[in-house]
């Protein structure tokens, strides 16, 4: 049995990861602040089934609280840290960039410092496809220049990757950064487009539809992402002198029009659209080159959008009926 510390472990991706780590016979320490970015009861529901599990320990603390982090590491042996906690969202980061800097950069630095103090050397760290900005070359490759972020959120994620290299170089941290590409599936946050659109269409409400519908995203089903995270953990734990960045996507693009059509088909209802201009900070396209993750990690996503959206809609209807 290994002990994993998962920040953001009550959230969308984090709760799925914890489920899998426990199923594999491990102990999980969750750090989550249960903030009100969205309804905290959603996170409570994500982890409720582990409420009596002695191998699932929850600390309700904020990564900005270095003293609280220190107490967690002082009281628990930790093999590997999976750092998923962050202020998420491109558009909200434009409204409050200082908060994103404080949580995503200083909070992450607190975690790195506590890991250094307690000699925890293995880490998997969530980055984002947003670091690519409006990259003109597709699909996005890990070797592409990511110096041209177009949102504060993206800038914080690039800064995390750079600081991770500092701790790798100076203090021997073995770390893999995972650039997630638009993750969806059961437990998806309610502020994300697929969840929000599904709710609005279900309720016969109007969808805010930004742009001409031709912007595209590399939608990645959560089960495929979790597979990639688990393979990344194994890679970091099995090797030394590790500093790597991996794209984790589906490596297929879906336009906004097609995304909405998929939800319509799964629900059997038509969407009502309120067409609006593109929003600042939104990128035109995300498209993952996953050849590196395939070669090094054995990552192999299998869920196509039409299949994944049906699974999401089925989950949505189950929890709302």
Beta bridge partners of 125: 83, 177
**Per-residue pLDDT at 66:** 98
153 noted as active-site residue: yes
How is 174-242 classified by DSSP, letter by letter? EEEEEEE--EESTT--TTSHHHHHHHHHHTTPEEEEESSS--EE--EEHHHHHHHHHHHHHHHHH-SS-
Walking along the chain (321 residues) 10 residues at a time, the average pLDDT comes out as 97 98 98 94 97 97 98 98 96 96 98 98 97 93 96 97 98 98 97 96 94 93 98 98 98 95 97 89 89 98 96 96 84
Domain boundaries, the chain: 3-254+262-319
What pTM does this model have? 0.96
Residue 136, SS3 per DSSP: coil
Query: 121: which DSSP letter?
Result: -
**Per-residue pLDDT at 41:** 96
Find the catalytic residue in 4, 100, 132, 153.
153
CATH classification of 3-254+262-319, choosing from 3.40.640.10, 3.30.2130.10, 3.40.50.720, 3.90.550.10? 3.40.50.720
Paired tokens of 296: 């090094």
Instruction: State CA 196 to chain mean position distance.
Output: 17
**Per-residue pLDDT at 281:** 75
**Per-residue pLDDT at 282:** 78
**Per-residue pLDDT at 321:** 84
**Per-residue pLDDT at 278:** 84
Radius of gyration of the chain (CA): 19
**146 phi and psi, to 5 degrees?**
-120, 40
């Amino acid at each position: 049995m290994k002990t994993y510390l998962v920040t953001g472990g009550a959230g969308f991706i984090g709760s799925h990861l914890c489920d899998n780590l426990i199923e594999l016979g491990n102990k999980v320490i969750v750090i989550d602040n249960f903030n009100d970015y969205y309804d905290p009861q959603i996170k409570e529901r994500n982890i409720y089934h582990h409420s009596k599990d002695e191998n699932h320990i929850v600390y309700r603390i904020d990564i900005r609280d270095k003293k609280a982090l220190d107490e967690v590491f002082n009281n628990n042996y930790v093999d590997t840290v999976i750092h998923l906690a962050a202020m998420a969202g491109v558009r909200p980061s434009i409204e409050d960039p200082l908060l994103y800097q404080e949580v995503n950069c200083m909070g992450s630095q607190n975690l790195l410092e506590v890991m250094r103090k307690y000699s925890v050397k293995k880490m998997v760290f969530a980055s984002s496809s947003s670091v690519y900005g409006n990259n003109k070359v597709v699909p996005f490759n890990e070797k592409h220049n990511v110096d041209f972020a177009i949102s504060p959120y993206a800038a914080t994620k690039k800064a995390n990757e750079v600081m991770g290299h500092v701790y790798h170089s100076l203090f021997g941290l073995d770390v893999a950064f995972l650039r997630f590409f638009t993750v969806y599936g059961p437990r998806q946050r309610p502020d994300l487009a697929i969840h929000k659109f599904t709710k609005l269409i279900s309720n016969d409400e109007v969808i805010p539809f930004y742009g001409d519908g031709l912007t595209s995203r590399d939608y990645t089903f959560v089960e495929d992402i979790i597979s990639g995270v688990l393979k990344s953990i194994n890679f970091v734990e099995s090797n030394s002198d590790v500093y790597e960045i991996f794209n984790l996507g589906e490596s297929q693009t879906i336009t906004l029009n097609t995304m909405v059509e998929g939800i319509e088909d799964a629900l059997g209802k038509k969407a009502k659209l309120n067409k609006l201009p593109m929003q600042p900070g939104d990128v035109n396209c995300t498209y993952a080159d996953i050849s590196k993750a395939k070669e090094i990690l054995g990552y192999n996503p299998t869920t196509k959008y039409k299949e994944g959206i049906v699974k999401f809609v089925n989950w949505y209807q189950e929890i709302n009926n």
